[in-house]
Structure 1
Amino acid sequence: MNLKEDRALEFKLIKGDPLKLKSNVLVIGKFEEESISKTVKKVNEALKGTISQLIEEESYKSVIGKTLNVNTVGKTGSDRILLVGLGKKSEFSPNSLKKVGIAVAKKVKKFASKVIFNLDIEGSNLNSQNLIMGLILGTYEFNKYKSNNDDSSSTTDTKYNFIWSKLNQKDFDNSLQKATGIAEATCFTRDLVNEPPDTMTPTRLGELAKEIADENGLECEIFNNVDIRQKGMGGLYAVSKGSLEDPRFIHLTYKPKKKARKTVAIVGKGITFDSGGLCLKPADYMKTMKMDMGGSAVVLGVMKVISLLKPSVKVHALISASENMTGGGAYKPDDVVTALNGKTIEVVNTDAEGRIVLSDALSYAVNLGVEEIVDLATLTGACIVALGNYTAGVMGNNQLIINKILKAANTVGEKVWQLPMDEELRKDIDSDIADVKNVGSRYGGAITAAMFLENFVDDTPWAHIDIAGPTFIEKGGEFYPKGATGFGVQTILQYLLER
């Protein structure tokens, strides 16, 4: 998408009478099961009761993001009024405004060049930040490969103006900077996942990592196929053997200016296309497998904005990137591969390759001496079966880290649910000929996948987030675009800021 090239969005704090100020759209808000606010009442009076009449006639419920569009017929300074639902007041949070922003952007992006918000909500950094983030995220489209793509006919440049009580210009500017950085990092992650696999290769991931490092003053180290083999990264090397595309191992490092409170590794699975290998996927299950590098996209999205947000922790970002293909050199069921930490893996199914490439990345993180590891991976269909398309699963060996991730996810409005590390399932990945099998039985697959990964973190506090469901939603959703969602970027950023 590249927001800067596709559309120009402007955000400004203003003062004035919302009924007199000129705009295409005036956005006003209403809480569910609450009487109308002061501004809504004024607008309703100016329109001779049209708002209240439509609320009654259309049984408008004010659920979050639900809109009611009214032509003012020249009775206010705005051409149209957009009444947007704010949900239940008792459940309202800054994240509610992110959803409001997404809903409004989807409605107005085709026609409105100037939009004014007056929601009768007290201004704050977080409220302003989340609303602006929502407006940017709601504008997102991935259309770069459409030959008839004409941005001028599909969307318009928009100036968003906000009337906030008790919010000064300095605080607004601060919230705008953070909102823009986080939202654009999320959109960047969406772009990476939406890219076709013939362009988003392991080599391209490495190039992007280098660009991010150069732009943000990060350290960068990238291993090619020869390096990977020489360093003993047997898992990543094995999975890559069936592809003409060389693998990459990517290591970015962020260091805070002051002494770091902790050293954290964030690890991403980077399978840029997953055919299943010799255990070939059916066509219907293969067609969206460009998204199997979603974990690596999250890691790069986080690192793209980390220097702006300046967390007080040192961050090592690690990515194992490869294709999983069926070439003549492809690894096979019954193979035994040796990971970086020396543990041996019996290959039962070549379509469980993500955990194999992660074995090396997790071992590498341990060797760095980090104090915490968080990995993100589109790892298992079993997690989607358990939790659905909109919720990620989290597991690990340290409840404190898991709790921190759950808290961060709740703060930013991303759904994450803890799954149990049921010890009775561990025997499913016992191997007769190696240290561990790469798959167990069909039951508890998300859990046994996490248990497999646990073999490569030693005693380092670690959490695994299975983002297979929410990374890519083909039909989209009320608050998600079709395709890549950027899920995980905001949770990890919040997690790092709270460490």
Structure 2
Amino acid sequence: MAKKSTQSSSNITNIRLEHFKGDALAISLFKNTTKLPTQYESLDRQTGGLITRALKLGDATGQANQLTVLYMPEKMPFQRLIIVGLDDPKEFKTNTLRQAAGTVARVAAKLKISSLGLAIHLLLPDTLAPESAAQTIAEGAIYATYKYSEFISDKNNNSLKLVFVAPTTANFDRFKKGFITGSIIGESQNYARNLTNKPGNIINPPALASEAQKIARQYGLKCKVFDEKQLVKMDMNAILAVGCGSIKKPRLIVLEYNGKKSTKKSATPDAVIIGKGVTFDSGGLSIKPTDSLVTMKNDKAGACGTLGIMTALARLKLPVNVVAVVPAVENLLSSTCYRPDDIIRTASGKTVEIVSTDAEGRLILADSLTYATRLKPRAIIDIATLTGGCVVALGNDRAGLFGNNESLIDKINTAAENAGEPLWPMPSGPEYLERMKSKVADLKNTGGREGAACTAAAFLREFAENIPWTHLDIAGTDTFSDEKPWRGTGATGFGVRIILEYLRSL
């Protein structure tokens, strides 16, 4: 029987450290700390000097994500004290705090702790605002505790309650605001991860559309779903071509969030977010090797992230107008699938020669970009697991950032650094478009292996027209195959924090 995946709940309290009631309390230390910080003096006395002793013995080194677990005297209201390292204070970055929170939360989950107090912010520099500190801790801890276990029958159903502990009333309201924000962002990102992790026999284009309608009802969003008959009338021939090989026909999903009070019937969107939604990608007639077929359920990561962003916008009540556009298709082999040598007239009127049916993402994004440009938004941002070339270029640590507007590129890149999801700006100029020109059509859908991420972005750029546009190629960052102290494996939800950080800055 399918069951819900592991999640956590969160809360905030104003209480002295030594009075916290729960299973464990977490605090932090910077690298090379030898003297007990004044913030921990009262707690240390109540524990009989256990923190001081750990420092003298060198057990608590303060190195990044290094953990020391101290077991408390029976008189204490919590059983364990967990000390996590924040590394060198001179090189402190917000993401160090995010990872530290995740490291603590994952250890707590493994120890089957039910209630974890988080007080790892007490030594942070004054330059980090209370709201930012609490938000970062919530994001890191909630992200870390997620585990996809929907189809595992025999599993640990332990639920971890996270409690942000503020020992004084100073800045309590600001901490509370930040922790609530971080909790919403973390939960929305985990929602995206959970949806991405679902296999292709569960999530197909109509099922993804139903999920969008569900969250629209839940969060008060406007939702339109265009089926294959409507897509024909809209000349969305690229979307139709990619999806024609499956009995689960394509859908174009449009969600709308209006956070600005406007008297106009149709408010100008501050942004249109486009998420690539290939619910399973076999490659079509240009079929993928067997090993490459595994994990192709993740080719909908951009779409799932986009849905996660929309749930967060509604919960955060941000004063922005945002439209989400999700082309949902299944790229399969059949007697009705599209072929190499086909020529498709896209919704924009531009024609595209098909060289490879495995270069399908850019086709459905092309029609979606045309839909987006007709809304005349201030910006368009697309998120897509687009090219293996981006993985070759950047590996799994950064996603590629492309665009036609330097100001927007800079804003998205800044948002990425703040969100702890790093990007790397890459070119998509006319020299790359030259490789995408066809002898029998306006464009072709692949320009070869060399510079593949850049040529794919140059192709997309042709459909963004003159509207500021950025493209996030998340092909290398959409999934984790290895564990880290601060997070597990599976879908990442990469891009959710970036786009929300950008929208919150508007």
Shorter-chain TM-score range:
over 0.9
Structure 2 residue aligned with 1:467: 474
Q: Deviations over 1:93-139 (max 9, x none)?
A: 44433222211110112422333333323681221122122222121
* 2-structure distance, mates of 1:61, 1:361: 51
* 1-structure distance, mates of 2:446, 2:167: 54
* 2-structure distance, mates of 1:160, 1:271: 38
Deviation at 1:202, TM superposition (A): 0.7
| SS in structure 1 of the partner of residue 23 of structure 2 | strand
Deviation at 1:44, TM superposition (A): 5.6
Structure 1 residue aligned with 2:118: 117
Structure 2 residue aligned with 1:184: 187
* 1-structure distance, mates of 2:186, 2:348: 37
Contact 1:428–1:440 under 8 Å retained in 2:
yes
Q: Look up the equivalent residue of 2:117 and give its one-letter code.
A: I
Deviation at 1:49, TM superposition (A): 6.2
Deviation at 1:150, TM superposition (A): 4.2
Q: Which moved more, 1:358-367 or 1:118-127?
A: 118-127
* 1-structure distance, mates of 2:484, 2:310: 27
Deviation at 1:305, TM superposition (A): 1.6
Structure 2 residue aligned with 1:203: 206
Residues 1:380 and 2:387 are matched in the alignment: yes
Cα 1:164–1:127 change in 2 (3 A) is: farther
CA RMSD of aligned residues (A): 2.5
Question: Following superposition of structure 1 onto structure 2, how do residues 217-236 of structure 1 map, counting pairs within 5 Å?
Answer: 217-236=220-239
| SS in structure 2 of the partner of residue 345 of structure 1 | strand
Structure 2 residue aligned with 1:82: 82
* 2-structure distance, mates of 1:278, 1:107: 46
Q: Look up the equivalent residue of 1:362 and give its one-letter code.
A: L
Question: Following superposition of structure 1 onto structure 2, how do residues 127-276 of structure 1 map, counting pairs within 5 Å?
Answer: 127-151=133-157, 155-158=158-161, 160-165=163-168, 167-259=170-262, 263-276=270-283
Q: Deviations over 1:175-211 (max 9, x none)?
A: 3332222111101000111001111111111111111
Cα 1:62–1:422 change in 2 (3 A) is: farther
Q: Which moved more, 1:167-176 or 1:488-497?
A: 167-176
Structure 2 residue aligned with 1:28: 27
| TM-score (normalizing by structure 1) | 0.92
* 2-structure distance, mates of 1:485, 1:167: 35
Q: Which moved more, 1:355-364 or 1:130-139?
A: 130-139
Report percent identity of matched pairs.
34
Residues 1:11 and 2:11 are matched in the alignment: yes
Q: Deviations over 1:65-94 (max 9, x none)?
A: 221112235475432221101222233344
Structure 2 residue aligned with 1:71: 71
Deviation at 1:242, TM superposition (A): 1.1
* 2-structure distance, mates of 1:461, 1:417: 18
List alignment gaps of at least 5 residues for structure 2. none
* 2-structure distance, mates of 1:73, 1:93: 34
Deviation at 1:380, TM superposition (A): 0.6
Structure 2 residue aligned with 1:101: 101
Contact 1:242–1:330 under 8 Å retained in 2:
yes
Give the length in aligned residue pairs.
Answer: 494
Q: Deviations over 1:139-160 (max 9, x none)?
A: 1111010021341xxx244352
* 2-structure distance, mates of 1:278, 1:69: 55
Q: Look up the equivalent residue of 1:305 and give its one-letter code.
A: A
Q: Look up the equivalent residue of 1:436 and give its one-letter code.
A: L
Deviation at 1:448, TM superposition (A): 0.4
| TM-score (normalizing by structure 2) | 0.91
Q: Deviations over 1:406-464 (max 9, x none)?
A: 01111111111111225433321111001111111211111001001011111111110
Contact 2:189–2:493 under 8 Å retained in 1:
yes
Q: Deviations over 1:12-47 (max 9, x none)?
A: 31222x345444222121112344422455656666
Contact 2:166–2:172 under 8 Å retained in 1:
no
